[in-house]
Amino acid sequence: MITTKTVYDKKLLDEFTSFILKRNKALIVIYVCAGIILACSIAMFCIAEYIDGVLYALIGIFFACYGLILKVVLTNSHKKVYGNYEIYEFDDQFFTIKTYLPSGEQLSAGTMRYDHIYKIYQNNTKTYILISKFSAYIIDKNNFENESDYVDVINKLTQKFQVLGEKK
């Protein structure tokens, strides 16, 4: 069994929020739609349809700000876990997650089989084990006892998944 710990601080969770937003392909579609709606708004003003133009402009601005709104929502939802930490124990078929408050009081414990993972992404220092589009367990490469333990965990994860890399 390989064990590691991740402490959830502001920097780590802000990096995760940025990572999620970069990976969200729906944002591209939303931004394209916002551009089209804003172009329609300009067209409405050109043909003297001012009320429709204002309405289109407001809708376009809302969609253009969607990414920012999503970032604020995700950041605010993470604030309640600052200082909490998780201890991960990796076995052959599953891993155990134990969540603790900064005081050391245990909040929860559970297990997850590797074949129930949504997706896995990896960069130079972290591995994100996504359990949904917006929720993940964050494994810091630097928190393992040694490099070979980290490699063993990645090998266990990749038996079921192709680990997707993140370019920096």
Asked if residue 46 has pLDDT above 70, the reply is yes
Question: According to the model, what pLDDT value does residue 122 have?
Answer: 83
Mean pLDDT for the stretch of residues 128-146: 86
Asked if residue 154 has pLDDT above 80, the reply is yes
pTM of the model: 0.70
Specify the residue for token string 């172009």. Answer: 39
Instruction: Tell me the per-residue pLDDT of 78-128, one tens digit each, with 9 for 90 and over.
Output: 777 788 899 999 988 889 999 999 999 999 999 988 888 888 888 888 888
Question: According to the model, what pLDDT value does residue 74 have?
Answer: 75
Is the CB of residue 102 less than 8 Å from the CB of residue 84? yes
3-state helix, strand, coil in the chain (%, to 5): 50, 25, 25
Question: According to the model, what pLDDT value does residue 167 have?
Answer: 42
